[in-house]
């Protein structure tokens, strides 16, 4: 990917509801905005991104919401291919070729591995007449969505982190090259943000290289990424995103389809097996 690439992702109503509560999970199929510039109406935008006209995610909504974000070294892009039974297995109109055929040309399609929404991402609503309405900006992990939405804290098992004074803290690289750090606990010289985190900004040279945390596990003999965990009364539960790429198996397992190619489930942490954490170095973009 080119560091200047701007990507666009269709946002389902279900994902938007979670984001308005403060959540910030990003995953699923995306396309370069330059490749879909001709798509101006909701139906054209859905076609350009490979969504079926009858996709139940939208339930007849007259508009479509999109997230626009810049390529970053914290994101992992995978070509949306599935030819020959390998890779993604999805129903039509998914082609498995890595491209979406449209009347206006071929659109390359990519998949973003589960992570946190990158700083500076913009949320827009496209109306039937092509009018664009700005909804929100994801400033960074310390401040979250602006205008402020819900106060859900960021996930502690998914997204970008950095080492600070021997511990791990949430991190985002800002446009000026500096790094905003955020902690759930009170930290010296940090300021309390509107979302209840303690945050401060440092020069990139003051910290070790930021990394992206990826926590994987198996549940009911299927592979997942753990994207969030929380205490649910007398137990800790986890939100899991299916990594098997197979819509048929996801359906058989009773997973919840939250987007095209995205299948999720909530399970008790104690039910997970083969739990593994990986700190991914910045990728080339």
Residue partners of 54: CB distance under 8 A and separation at least 6: none
Q: Between these two residues, 9 and 285, which has the higher pLDDT value?
A: 9
What is the Cα–Cα distance from 181 to 202, expressed in whole angstroms? 8
212-280: in CATH 1.10.600: no
> In the predicted model, what is the mean pLDDT of residues 17-32?
95
pLDDT per residue over 34-72, tens digit each? 999 999 999 999 999 999 887 888 777 899 999 999 998
> In the predicted model, what is the mean pLDDT of residues 150-174?
92
pLDDT per residue over 211-250, tens digit each? 999 999 999 999 999 999 999 988 999 999 999 999 999 9
| Nearest in space to 115 (alpha carbons), one of 148, 152, 155 | 155
Tally Cβ neighbours within 10 Å of residue 274: 9
H/E element, 45: helix 42-48
Question: Residues 230-264, buried b or exposed e (16+ Cβ, 10 A)?
Answer: eeeeeeebbbbbbbbbbbeebeebebebbbbbbbb
Cβ atoms of residues 90 and 82 within 8 Å: yes
Supply the pLDDT for residue 282: 75
Across 64-109, the runs of DSSP E, i.e. the strands, are 64-70, 77-79, 99-102, 105-108
pLDDT per residue over 95-123, tens digit each? 999 999 999 999 999 999 999 999 999 99
Mean of the per-residue pLDDT values of the chain:
92
pLDDT per residue over 117-152, tens digit each? 999 999 999 999 999 999 999 999 999 999 876 678
Q: What is the pTM of this model?
A: 0.94
Q: Structural domain boundaries of the chain?
A: 6-138, 156-207, 212-280
Task: Inform me whether the pLDDT recorded for 284 exceeds 50.
Answer: no
Supply the pLDDT for residue 85: 64
What is the Cα–Cα distance from 197 to 178, expressed in whole angstroms? 18
Length of the chain counted residue by residue: 285
Triad 249, 253, 255: Cα angle to 5°: 100
């Amino acid at each position: 990917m080119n560091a200047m690439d701007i990507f666009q992702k269709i946002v389902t109503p279900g994902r938007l509801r979670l984001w308005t509560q403060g959540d910030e999970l990003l995953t699923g199929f995306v396309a370069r905005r330059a490749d879909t510039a001709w798509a101006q109406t909701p139906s054209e935008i859905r076609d350009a991104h490979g969504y079926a006209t009858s996709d139940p995610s939208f339930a007849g909504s007259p508009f479509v919401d999109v997230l626009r974000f810049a390529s970053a070294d914290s994101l992992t892009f995978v070509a949306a291919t599935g030819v020959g039974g390998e890779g993604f297995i999805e129903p039509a109109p998914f082609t498995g070729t890595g491209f979406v055929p449209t009347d206006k040309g071929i659109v390359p399609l990519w998949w973003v591995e589960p992570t946190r929404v990158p700083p500076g991402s913009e949320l827009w609503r496209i109306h039937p007449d092509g009018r664009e309405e700005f909804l929100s900006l994801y400033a960074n992990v310390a401040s979250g969505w602006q205008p402020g939405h819900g106060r859900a804290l960021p996930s502690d098992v998914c997204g970008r982190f950095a080492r600070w004074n021997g511990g791990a803290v949430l991190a985002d690289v800002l446009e000026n090259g500096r790094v905003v750090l955020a902690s759930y606990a009170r930290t010296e010289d940090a300021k309390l943000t509107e979302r209840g985190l303690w945050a401060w900004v440092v020069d990139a040279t003051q910290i070790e290289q930021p990394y992206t945390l990826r926590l994987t596990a198996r549940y009911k003999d299927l592979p997942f990424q753990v994207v969030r965990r929380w205490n649910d009364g007398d137990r800790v539960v986890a939100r899991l995103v299916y990594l098997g790429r197979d819509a048929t198996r996801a359906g058989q397992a009773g997973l919840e389809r939250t987007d095209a190619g995205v299948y999720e489930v909530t399970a008790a942490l104690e039910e997970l097996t083969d739990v593994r954490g990986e700190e991914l170095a910045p990728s080339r973009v």
